[in-house]
Structure 1
Amino acid sequence: MAKYFDIHPDNPQRRAIGQVVDLLNQGGLIAYPTDSCYALGCALGNRDAIERIRQIRKLDENHHFTLMCRDFAQLGQFVHVGNAVFRAVKAATPGSYTFILPATKEVPRRLMHPKKKTVGARIPDHVVTQAILAELGEPLLSTTLLIPGEAEPMVQGWEIKEELDHVVDAVIDSGECGTVPTTVIDFSDDVAEVVRVGAGDVSRFE
């Protein structure tokens, strides 16, 4: 049965954040709110939780996982951001964008796209997510919480608890969060390609 954390959206309780991070460090899989709807997240090296995410979402090997990063400095440790795209990515973060970029050697190979050696990366504009990332000290491996067969992502903590009670280890609820997935921009070839139109304004990349 998943633990349920009710965390204040503006002033996250440090004890609760610490408990969430302890769970992540012990191999847990969490459902947590972001600025662009709920996501599933686990520690980078957690093979078991990654496989559980694949099963919940029914993902194939070509799916781009996302590294949820605290800030631009951390993002730069895990993806290559060339001069041509630096300014564009920097200007759009934090925010509701996921950028597909070439992965550095810090990223486990199994998380990269098998052919392109790329990975998704983003910096969320969400107080609770940022508190978790600050305590964790490394990116959170994430993917949008979209149940197969459903047209819309789940956005209510209590609904997620009911639906995923036996397949995740914790659900974090901090009230309303975004209801639209991120806008995805592929910068793997140094030219912006809009892969998915979502919460972030695409006009700056067109």
Structure 2
Amino acid sequence: MAEIIKLYEEKTDQKQLRRIAKAMKEGALVIYPTDTVYGLGCDITNKEAIEKIARIKGVKSDKANFSFICDSLSNLSDYTSQIDSGTFKLLKRNLPGPYTFILSGNNNLPGIFKKKKTVGIRVPDNAIAIGLVKELGNPIISTSIKDDDEVLEYTTDPSLIAEKWDKLVDIVIDAGFGGNIGSTVIDLTTPEPTLIREGKGSTEL
């Protein structure tokens, strides 16, 4: 059964975040809040945990379009190719925020993603998500929590999330009702920024 941990964004509990990060280091799958929808994540360095998420999503890990949740733009050079000043200014202007920016990956990508040429980078405007990444010491591999409902694409109630994912994940962070609009996805590997999906973030960059 998944452990449910209540956290408040206005007053983040560092002790609990540290405990969750430790569990992630040991392979735990965690459902956590962002500035858009709830996400399912694990430690980027834990191959077995990444493969578990891929199986849950029904995709092959090396082909999965997972996002890298970072705590700031300082992580960019770890996993992406060198970006020009214009692109960096665009990122700095819009992050933290409800965006996923697709950038070219480099040779430092975890082995499981070596075949991928691009990576989706997120820096969510959410103190719990950012605090978790900081405690972990590296990005979180993440994917959105989808809903089977044809009307609501994302589940927003953490108690319903915990009920549905109880046997699939190790920890559910209950931070209150989440959003039901995903991040805006922008491809920055093209000559001009290309809108892949319109979400919560403005498309006027």
> What is the TM-score normalised by the length of structure 2?
0.91
Alignment of 1:5-154 (within 5 A): 5-60=5-60, 61-80=62-81, 81-111=83-113, 114=115, 117-147=117-147, 151-154=152-155
TM-superposed CA distance for 1:162, in Å, is 0.4
Inter-partner Cα distance in structure 1 for 2:32 and 2:85: 33
Instruction: Report if aligned partners of 1:57, 1:146 keep a CA contact under 8 Å in 2.
Output: no
Paired residue type of 1:20: I
Deviation of 1:190 after TM superposition, in Å, equals 4.2
Determine the C-alpha separation between the residues in 2 that align with 1:96 and 1:138. Answer: 20
Number of residue equivalences: 202
1:145-177 CA-to-partner distances (Å, cap 9, x unmatched) read 114675511222111110010110100011133
Residue 122 and residue 102 in structure 1: after superposition, are their counterparts in 2 closer, same or farther (change >3 A)? same
After superposition, give the CA deviation of every residue in 1:80-110 in whole Å (9 maximum; x if it has no partner).
Answer: 3323411111111000000111112221142
CA distance in 2, matches of 1:149, 1:79: 35
Residues 9 and 175 in structure 1, CA contact (< 8 A), matched pair in contact too: no
Question: What amino acid does structure 1 have at the position aligned with 2:184?
Answer: T
In structure 1, the residue corresponding to 2:75 is in which secondary structure? helix
Deviations 1:96-148 (A, max 9, x none): 00011111222114235x4x511110111001111111111111111111146
How far apart, in 1, do the equivalents of 2:148 and 2:163 lie?
A: 16
Residue type of the partner of 2:140?
Answer: L
The answer on whether the counterparts of 2:68 and 2:140 sit within 8 Å (CA) in structure 1 is yes
- List runs of 5+ in structure 2 lacking aligned partners: none
Counterpart of 2:14, as a letter, is R
Give the deviation of 1:55 after TM superposition: 2.3
Are the structure 2 counterparts of residues 176 and 149 from structure 1 closer, same or farther at C-alpha, using a change threshold of 3 Å? Answer: closer
Q: Aligned partners of 1:111 and 1:201: how far apart in 2?
A: 29
The 3-state SS of whatever aligns with 1:42 is strand
- Give the superposition deviation at 1:59: 2.9
Secondary structure of the corresponding residue to residue 203 of structure 1? coil
Q: CA deviation at 1:76?
A: 3.1
Of 23-32 and 78-87, the range deviating more from structure 2: 78-87
How far apart in 1 are the matches of 2:88 and 2:146? 30
| One-letter amino acid of the counterpart of residue 74, structure 2 | A
SS in 1 for 2:146: coil
Identify if the C-alpha distance between structure 1 residues 17 and 161 changes in structure 2 by more than 3 Å, giving closer, same or farther: same
Q: Percent identity?
A: 32
3-state SS in 2 of match to 1:166 = coil
Q: CA RMSD in A?
A: 1.8
The Cα of 1:4 is off from its aligned counterpart by 0.7
Q: Structure 1 unaligned segments of length 5 or more: list them.
A: none
